[in-house]
């Protein structure tokens, strides 16, 4: 078993620590969080003990660290852990400032310990099955992609100021996923955005609804649809169109049972929260990190994936501001 520690005992920290504590190859030894009550609760739940960051960095038996601290601490915590020789699993994003992230490039060279930045949707079994169908040539040569990513309801207004905004907090999942599915780098992006869900989000300087178009160097196109509200559940769909057909990833439902009556068919609901819909993906991320620690896998997403997705997010915001496409 690999001895690991976790920084952060918030919502995502609870997800990752729970998965780590249950993993047969990982020994979650420490929980670090400046909020003593949160650290105590998570440590008690997982069998870890509360520690300081210095405790983690100085313990040579700790081989890996999960960074699930506050977003504005991610990069500093990652650099500290890498500097101490620890492999790192970092909850996305690595940072919200592209210039700051690029300035840190020298810390992420080939000699540095492994860094895995967890873009969870790449590890969803349905997404991976779709990727496999596309790459197998089942639909011929991929031409266009359509991604729907809609939240069931908007977050509380207090979340918005520190989130980085819709594109860096929400759309960034799609901006990582789309080029991976397309198999090519995105070279141009255009975005429209509005505040249609909650006026308070607009007052805080953000948007809650967006449509984006991405273009690759060969001309492949991708449309992204984002909304902070559906009213019917967590809507996660992807359609891939190729020269020989289409591959489609539909929403999960809580059961496959439908009830038929005079008014028609009534199906079961979608998962309502991202933690339910992507529970399997979060567990698969920990499997991947365990493989990285064992030396049987290299991180699928790391520093470069973070740079690429964040550059697209900033380009999308610039497109909205200028009303023009932005080339990368």
Can you spell out the DSSP letters for 166-187? HIIIIIHHHHHHHHHHHTS-EE
Average pLDDT value for residue range 150-174: 94
Residue 1 has pLDDT above 90, yes or no: yes
- For the four alpha carbons of 300, 2, 282 and 44, in that order, the dihedral sign comes to negative
Average pLDDT value for residue range 256-285: 93
Mapped onto helix, strand or coil, the DSSP state of residue 29 is strand
Structure confidence at residue 259 (pLDDT): 94
- The share of the chain scoring above pLDDT 90, in percent, equals 95
**Burial, 245: exposed, middle or buried (Cβ in 10 Å; 0-12, 13-18, 19+)?**
exposed
Structure confidence at residue 273 (pLDDT): 87
Mapped onto helix, strand or coil, the DSSP state of residue 53 is helix
Strands 186-194 and 326-327: antiparallel
pTM, to two decimals: 0.94
Could you read off the pLDDT of 213-238 as tens digits, one per residue? 999 999 999 999 999 999 899 999 99
Kind plus residue range of the DSSP H or E element containing 280: helix 279-294
Structure confidence at residue 260 (pLDDT): 94
Structure confidence at residue 53 (pLDDT): 98
The rounded mean pLDDT for the chain is 96
The Cα angle at residue 214 between residues 209 and 219, in degrees rounded to 5: 155
Could you read off the pLDDT of 46-86 as tens digits, one per residue? 999 999 999 999 999 999 999 999 999 999 999 999 999 99
Residue 289 has pLDDT above 90, yes or no: yes
């Amino acid at each position: 078993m690999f001895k690991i520690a976790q920084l952060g005992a918030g919502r995502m920290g609870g997800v990752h620590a729970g998965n780590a504590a249950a993993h047969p190859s990982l020994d979650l030894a420490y929980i670090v969080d400046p909020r003593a009550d949160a650290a105590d609760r998570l440590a008690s739940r997982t069998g870890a003990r509360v520690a300081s960051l210095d405790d983690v960095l100085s313990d040579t038996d700790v081989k890996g660290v999960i960074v699930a601290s506050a977003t504005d601490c991610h990069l500093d915590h990652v650099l500290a852990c890498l500097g101490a020789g620890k492999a790192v699993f970092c909850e996305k994003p690595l940072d919200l400032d592209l210039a700051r992230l690029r300035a840190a490039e020298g810390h992420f060279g080939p000699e540095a310990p492994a860094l895995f930045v967890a873009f969870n949707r790449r590890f969803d079994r349905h997404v991976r099955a779709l990727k496999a169908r596309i790459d197998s040539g089942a639909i011929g040569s991929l031409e266009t992609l359509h991604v729907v990513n809609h939240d069931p309801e908007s977050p509380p207004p207090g979340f918005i100021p520190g989130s980085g905004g819709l594109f860096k907090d929400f759309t960034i999942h799609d901006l990582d996923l789309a080029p991976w599915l397309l198999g090519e780098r995105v070279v141009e992006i255009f975005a429209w955005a509005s505040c249609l869900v909650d006026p308070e989000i607009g007052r805080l300087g953000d948007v809650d609804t967006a449509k984006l178009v991405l273009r690759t160097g060969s001309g492949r196109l991708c449309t992204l649809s984002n909304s902070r509200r559906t009213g019917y559940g967590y809507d996660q769909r992807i359609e891939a169109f190729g020269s020989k057909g289409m591959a489609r990833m539909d929403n999960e439902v809580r059961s496959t049972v439908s009830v038929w009556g005079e008014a028609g068919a009534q199906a079961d609901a979608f998962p309502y929260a991202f933690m339910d819909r992507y529970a399997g993906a979060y567990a698969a991320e920990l499997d991947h990190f365990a493989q990285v620690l064992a030396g049987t896998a290299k991180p699928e997403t790391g520093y470069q994936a973070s740079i690429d997705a964040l550059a697209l997010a900033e380009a999308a915001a610039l497109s909205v501001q200028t009303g023009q496409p932005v080339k990368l």
